[in-house]
Chain A
Amino acid sequence: MSTPRDDILGGIRHALRRGAASPDAGAEIHERVAAHRRNLVPARAAALGRKGRIELFVAMAEAVQTTVARVASQTDIPAEVARYLAAENLPAELVVAPEASFDGIPWDRRPLLQVRRGRAEAYDAVSLTPSLAGIAETGTLMLASGPGTPSTLNFLPDTHIVVLHAGQVVASYEDGWDLLRALCQDDPPALAGEVDRPTGGPEGANASPLLPRTVNLITGPSRTGDIEQRIQLGAHGPRRLHVVLVEDAPAQP
């Protein structure tokens, strides 16, 4: 008896009037995937230097209701978080990503801030997370999940504060993909169970990167226009998205 899989693949080949793709075509496609060449990347951000990229990132982010504050170094983060929460009239309580690069943040300088490290729970109102990159072309933050960066922090709390280092601001999504691939090479996320990873030969020659479980590209706070096309912020995800842009070199690339 034929399986749905065989029938669908067979149906595709039948409709395309050919057998299984020829070895040559197969090799060509493997090469296309392995090379993952860039298509046209808009000049908007690609043509800019570091300073221009950061300015574009901030302008694009603010255009979609992200707020941005600049601080000189990571040690200034507690002061900025305290200022922001007070200005927004929010409780001085937050859940902070358990990421190692955040271990050195001197929370004791702001003893009134209550800080918990971990994933977000239903009762958490404010979260603080690192980011992998800021993408200038649309003011987009790229965040990758991992043991130190649970994704619930990005969605459950009403207010999401993201630390972005100025050196992490890249031009395009494609630059972001390069960072992701580099991350996968340097620090491959461990699979939870027994899984066969292709290791080589024509079948596995694509040497595909194992991405983090969840990569979030976040462009402004949650919103909806589903009722009369009038935009409301905070549909299900955060009502507020605040970026703390740290001017120093990032602790990790």
Chain B
Amino acid sequence: MQPTSHSFPANARAGLADPILQQALGLARTGFPQRRLEAIARLPEFEELREEGRAIKDHVLAYLDFYLELYERNVAASGGHVHWARNAEEARAAILDICRAANAKIVTKGKSMVAEEIALNEHLEANGITPVETDLGEYIIQLRHEPPSHIIAPAIHLMKEQVADAFRGAHTELDPARPLTDPRALCDEARTVLRPRFLAADVGITGANFIIAETGSSIIVTNEGNGDLTQILPRVHIVVTGIEKIVPTLEDAATLLRLLARSATGQEFSSYTTISTGPRRAGDLDGPEEYHVVLVDNGRSAMLGGEFQDMLRCLRCAACLNHCPVYAAVGGHAYGWVYPGPMGAVLTPALVGVGEAGHLPNASTFCGRCESVCPVKIPLPKMMRHWREREFSWRLNPPVYRSGLKLWAWVAQRPALYHALAGVASRLLGWAGLHRGRFRSLPLAQGWTAARDLPAPQGRSFQSLWAEHQRRPGRAR
């Protein structure tokens, strides 16, 4: 999809004014964090596991080329095929080629953020192939022609009424008078409608939560079982995944799996964790006849060796989204591309450019909750600061903003001048605000006063009070 991250401020205002979105976000704010807390309270080793998870990912990233080559050999040794894609275009082309060779008409899809990243559905449709999303949330947003608003709960911005409307609009073969008033009925309808699609599909496309160098396997983690029906029923299974999803061994995957579900949904373990290796074996009665893996770089290798390398540890659990006050206020669509929330604020500028996505690392209160809940301890706030620095040093901010920052920096580096100016300003504001004790609006401060009052300074600055305190004879030590 075409990013609209450059209009984050407008997107965010629209989100704040959308009553349905606000109602839906209200459900998410409490649910996910509470369940995560309960799950990690049941596992005393959770903190140690986070440290091990971080170390596993750091090790892999330091030898990424080596592990990818080993992985490729082991995929080939199990009868599968690896395709390398430098960018989204190459990834789309590789997948289309495989689909065409399979003479595919219908392609079922398990939920994959990389497929969103490379805008796969549009490309398949443009080439006469029908992609069918099978994750319930993804299916709903496919019917509504909109992008996901959350990386593990794509339709989290909707209430059941919007889902019912989408189903009535799409499932015209069903009785229009049927009741669709509760999630159970909606879930059953999706199951009924999608089952024949699973059976008719020629190709199944899934992502991967992990790929394993040791065995050449891919792992998907789902709750619905849609990813499994997607990969075992069609003749061809395509896995599309980022190069950073690799781990050395099954044992390493076990450590990260213990972190993933607890951080994501607060489950002990998701319903289905599936390890897939190559195509079906001699004598097997089902399973795909072909197994392809499309390894996507698309900007990832360029993040290695620099200040954004830590981002490549990301497990895509969404804990940072679920604990972010900004995400909880504006929702995922405001971020304007595939990856929202704190992880999106770091990843999106790396993948689509800080010129397009410069607002995202600025859309942070720096409260630090994202880093504190990240299962692999990614220093998200620090990396958002790095993007802000780049944005400034590459002259991407508006001139007024840049001049203001420069002026402030110039003053702040001169303590005597700073104190003098601060003293004058605080006396002036204190005098002007004597009557009310606060300001409803101030010139140059609309950014603050548009949403809240500014308290009037009362008396002198902290620095001058402190200096006087230090000078006072007989002060308590």
Chain A residues near B (Cβ < 8 Å): 3-5, 7-9, 11-13, 15-17, 20-21, 25-26, 29, 32-33, 36-40, 42-44, 60, 63-64, 98, 118-119, 122, 138-140, 145-147, 150-152, 154-156, 172-174, 177, 180, 189-193, 195-198, 203-204, 206, 208-230, 232, 234-238
Which of B43, B78, B302 has the largest number of chain A CB atoms within 10 A? Answer: B78
With known contacts A9-B65, A21-B63, A208-B216, A236–B77 Cβ distance under 8 A: no
Chain B hits for A219, CB < 8 A: 267-273
Q: Are B270 and A42 in contact (CB under 8 A)?
A: no
Q: Are B215 and A8 in contact (CB under 8 A)?
A: no
Q: Mark B53-97, 1 if CB is under 8 A from A, else 0.
A: 000100000111111111001101111000011100010000000
Q: Are B248 and A32 in contact (CB under 8 A)?
A: yes
Q: Are A8 and B243 in contact (CB under 8 A)?
A: yes
With known contacts A229-B27, A236-B134, A237-B225, A195–B77 Cβ distance under 8 A: yes
Q: Are A228 and B159 in contact (CB under 8 A)?
A: yes
Chain B residues near A (Cβ < 8 Å): 24, 27-28, 31-32, 43-45, 48-49, 52, 56, 62-70, 73-74, 76-79, 84-86, 90, 134-137, 140, 153-156, 158-160, 163, 183-184, 186-188, 190-191, 194-195, 198-199, 213-217, 223-226, 228-229, 231-233, 243, 248-252, 254-255, 257-258, 265, 267-287, 289, 295, 297, 301-306
With known contacts A42-B258, A237-B224, A138–B70 Cβ distance under 8 A: no
Q: Are A11 and B77 in contact (CB under 8 A)?
A: no
CA distance A195 to B190 in the complex (A): 40
Q: Are A238 and B275 in contact (CB under 8 A)?
A: no
Closest 7 CB pairs of A and B: A237-B225, A235-B224, A147-B283, A226-B137, A15-B304, A11-B301, A217-B273
Q: Are B285 and A119 in contact (CB under 8 A)?
A: yes
Chain B hits for A8, CB < 8 A: 68, 84, 86, 243, 295, 297, 301
Chain B hits for A208, CB < 8 A: 74, 77, 214-216
CA distance A25 to B59 in the complex (A): 12
B381 to chain A, nearest CB (A): 23
CA distance A66 to B197 in the complex (A): 28
CA distance A11 to B159 in the complex (A): 44
CA distance A137 to B215 in the complex (A): 24
Which of A151, A192, A214 has the largest number of chain B CB atoms within 10 A? Answer: A214
Which of B56, B154, B199, B217 has the largest number of chain A CB atoms within 10 A? Answer: B217
Which of A196, A218, A237 has the largest number of chain B CB atoms within 10 A? Answer: A237
With known contacts A196-B76, A232-B183, A42–B43 Cβ distance under 8 A: yes
Q: Are A119 and B286 in contact (CB under 8 A)?
A: yes
Chain A hits for B78, CB < 8 A: 191, 195, 210-211
**Residue of chain A at shortest CB distance from B287:** A213
Which of A39, A42, A43, A138 has the largest number of chain B CB atoms within 10 A? Answer: A39
Q: Are A152 and B233 in contact (CB under 8 A)?
A: yes
Chain A hits for B305, CB < 8 A: 15-17
CA distance A189 to B282 in the complex (A): 8
With known contacts A152-B233, A210-B78, A232–B271 Cβ distance under 8 A: no
Contact of A226 among B63, B154, B267, B272 (CB under 8 A): B154
Chain A hits for B84, CB < 8 A: 3-5, 8
With known contacts A151-B287, A213-B284, A226–B155 Cβ distance under 8 A: yes
B47 to chain A, nearest CB (A): 10
Q: Are B187 and A232 in contact (CB under 8 A)?
A: yes
With known contacts A196-B76, A213-B284, A217-B272, A235–B278 Cβ distance under 8 A: no
CA distance A156 to B65 in the complex (A): 39
Q: Known pairs A16-B65, A224-B223, A237-B229; list 13 more (Cβ under 8 Å).
A: A16-B64, A17-B305, A33-B70, A39-B255, A40-B255, A119-B285, A145-B284, A152-B285, A174-B251, A191-B78, A206-B74, A219-B271, A235-B223
Chain B hits for A237, CB < 8 A: 224-226, 228-229, 271-272
With known contacts A33-B70, A211-B275, A227-B187, A150–B284 Cβ distance under 8 A: yes
CA distance A218 to B270 in the complex (A): 8
CA distance A118 to B76 in the complex (A): 29
A151 to chain B, nearest CB (A): 5
**Residue of chain A at shortest CB distance from B164:** A227
With known contacts A196-B76, A197-B77, A219-B268, A39–B281 Cβ distance under 8 A: no
Chain A hits for B134, CB < 8 A: 236
Chain A hits for B254, CB < 8 A: 39, 172-174, 177
**Residue of chain B at shortest CB distance from A211:** B277
With known contacts A208-B77, A237-B225, A213–B281 Cβ distance under 8 A: yes
Contact of B224 among A7, A118, A214, A222 (CB under 8 A): A222
Chain B hits for A98, CB < 8 A: 285
Contact of A138 among B135, B215, B224, B268 (CB under 8 A): B268
CA distance A140 to B14 in the complex (A): 44
Q: Are B276 and A213 in contact (CB under 8 A)?
A: yes
Q: Are B140 and A147 in contact (CB under 8 A)?
A: no
CA distance A20 to B217 in the complex (A): 24
Q: Are B63 and A25 in contact (CB under 8 A)?
A: yes
**Residue of chain B at shortest CB distance from A30:** B70
* CB pairs A–B below 8 angstroms (20 shown): A8-B295, A15-B305, A32-B249, A33-B70, A33-B213, A39-B49, A42-B44, A119-B286, A140-B269, A147-B284, A174-B254, A191-B278, A191-B282, A208-B74, A211-B277, A212-B277, A216-B228, A222-B223, A229-B27, A229-B31
CA distance A36 to B270 in the complex (A): 24
CA distance A219 to B35 in the complex (A): 17
With known contacts A32-B248, A223-B223, A234–B257 Cβ distance under 8 A: no
CA distance A177 to B217 in the complex (A): 13
Q: Are B282 and A232 in contact (CB under 8 A)?
A: no
With known contacts A11-B301, A236-B134, A236-B224, A216–B274 Cβ distance under 8 A: yes
CA distance A7 to B295 in the complex (A): 13
Chain B hits for A15, CB < 8 A: 301-306
Chain A hits for B248, CB < 8 A: 29, 32-33, 36
